Amino acid sequence: MAQTEIRVGGLGGQGVILCGSIIGKAAAIHDGKHATLIQAFGPEARGSACSAQVMVSDQPIGYPYVKHPDVLVLMSQDAFTQFLPQLKPGGLVLYESDLVDPRGALPAGVRSAGVPATRFAEELGRRLVLNIVMVGFFAGVTGLVPIQAVERAVLDSVPKGTEDLNMKALRKGYDYGREQSTQIC
């Protein structure tokens, strides 16, 4: 595996940083890879732009900043608009399909898949787990980190008493991602 650059983008309050953290933790702690995480967010606690930069590699990582992501995980239209120009040619865009409309904006050769993560989270009873649905979707589509490693990272990262809900959210996103992965060109 070569180094994989991932940028997660959305709005404060959507769990963007936790999403990136779980991906990195799954890779580094539970799958024996190297990973880095850089986070950025606006001064407001909720509603402002927010992003996480994650690097995953089999080798030590010398420079932790994502310049040209291989994968974008996007949870808002603003994040889509801001980060799409940085995507590597032939990269992968994973997006929250009820909040992001990529039609007509994707460059030729870019692969994409959407998931109604907010809707899935609401069906599970808590809108706040949309980020965990996105983590599962990422794992299901990319296969970058085994689902068992992601499960352990989620359990390490979520508040006590919410483990069952978060595991359901993860599984919902993962199963949907596995279905979608067969349709991505």
Write out pLDDT tens, residues 86-128. Answer: 999 999 999 999 999 998 889 999 999 999 999 999 999 999 9
What is the pLDDT of the chain when averaged over all its residues?
93
User: Any idea what the CATH number is for the domain that residue 128 is in?
Assistant: 3.40.920.10
Domain-located, residue 20? yes
User: Is there a domain that residue 185 lies in?
Assistant: no
Q: Report which of residues 181 and 177 the model is more confident about.
A: 177
Asked whether residue 166 is domain-assigned, the answer is yes
Compute, in degrees rounded to 10, the torsion defined by CA atoms 67, 72, 75, 79. Answer: 40
How many structural domains comprise the chain?
Answer: 1
- Please give the residue range of the domain that contains residue 121: 4-180
| pLDDT-based confidence at residue 30 (cuts at 50, 70, 90) | very high
**Does the structure show a pLDDT above 60 at 44?**
no
